[in-house]
């Protein structure tokens, strides 16, 4: 909705408009204009968050209450760091509230990112064989929450992009199955599409509650949604491609 000046000196459109610069594509100009006028982008700058995505996890946690004081949290693909910033405050990672337990926030990403006060940030490919053990070592045990706002690189083909993000979310879920404590929570971004049937079936078998939700901070024209799975029942519930390998397998 366009904001208006109603001061009595005549109404004026306050929306920031961007001229298309020489050499810049129209699509880039429209993206920049949307960013400059996005209320969540504006709010993030004012409140010190690294991006508008911080409000997605804020809104999800307001509804499902998984970032509790004392929780151990792993943020996969944490760049630029907005989700870690939110988690640090909510789990009391810096001990700001001496009356509540102190939590741990661990962020991992392929790229190196600027440090975040109260969080441990590691440059790591979570798909590597040693990633699960490294994360549990850094945490000093298993995690209470594994969360991911990762998205695969866009190809421009909707069906292909959907399959890519489903493959990524399934890899994140397999990671979560190994590092989550029983009773833990898995939160991740997916795309609406329908190819995730096996994943949804496994989630319902492995967690007490599974919700698929689009938080208000998620843009209306985006096909993204988020799965919030709570109450992990343990590895014994895993089936199919998610089942752990037995000792006699390669």
Residue 109 among known ligand-binding residues: yes
Residue whose tokens read 């006060």:
117
Active site residue 136: no
Q: Is 194 exposed, middle or buried (0-12, 13-18, 19+ CB in 10 A)?
A: exposed
Residue 81 among known ligand-binding residues: yes
Set 22, 56, 99, 189: catalytic member: 189
Helices (H), 48-154: 54-64, 82-90, 131-139
Within 13 Å of residue 53, how many CA atoms lie on the same side as its CB? Answer: 23
Distance CA 78, CA 100 (A): 25
Q: Pseudo-torsion of CA 117, 172, 160, 214, nearest 10°?
A: -70
Distance CA 132, CA 26 (A): 43
Residue 125 among known ligand-binding residues: yes
Residue 31 among known ligand-binding residues: no
| Cis ω for the linkage preceding 80 (within 30 of 0) | yes
Strands 207-213 and 224-232: antiparallel
Q: Which residues are annotated as a binding site for S-adenosyl-L-methionine?
A: 81, 83, 109, 125, 149
Residues catalogued as catalytic: 189
């Amino acid at each position: 909705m366009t904001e208006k000046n109603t001061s009595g000196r005549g109404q004026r459109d306050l929306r920031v408009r961007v001229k298309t610069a020489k050499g810049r594509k129209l699509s880039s100009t429209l993206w920049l204009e949307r960013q400059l006028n996005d209320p969540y982008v504006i709010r993030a700058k004012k409140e010190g968050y690294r991006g508008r995505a911080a409000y997605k996890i804020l809104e999800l946690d307001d509804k499902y209450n998984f970032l509790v004081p004392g929780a151990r949290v792993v943020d996969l693909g944490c760049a630029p760091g907005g989700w870690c910033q939110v988690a640090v405050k909510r789990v009391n990672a810096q001990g700001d509230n001496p009356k509540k337990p102190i939590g741990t926030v661990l962020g991992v990403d392929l790229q190196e990112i600027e440090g975040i006060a109260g969080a441990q940030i590691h440059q790591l490919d979570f798909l590597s064989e040693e990633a699960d053990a490294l994360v549990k070592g850094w945490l000093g045990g298993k995690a209470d929450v594994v969360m991911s706002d990762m998205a695969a690189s866009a190809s421009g083909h909707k069906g292909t992009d959907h399959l890519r993000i489903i493959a990524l979310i399934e890899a994140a879920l397999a990671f979560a199955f190994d590092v989550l404590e029983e009773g833990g929570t898995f939160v991740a971004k997916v795309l609406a599409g329908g190819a995730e049937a096996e994943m949804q079936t496994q989630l319902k078998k492995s967690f007490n509650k599974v919700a698929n939700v689009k938080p208000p901070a998620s843009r209306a024209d985006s096909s993204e949604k988020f799965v919030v799975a709570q109450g992990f029942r343990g590895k014994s519930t895993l089936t199919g491609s998610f089942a752990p390998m037995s000792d006699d397998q390669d």
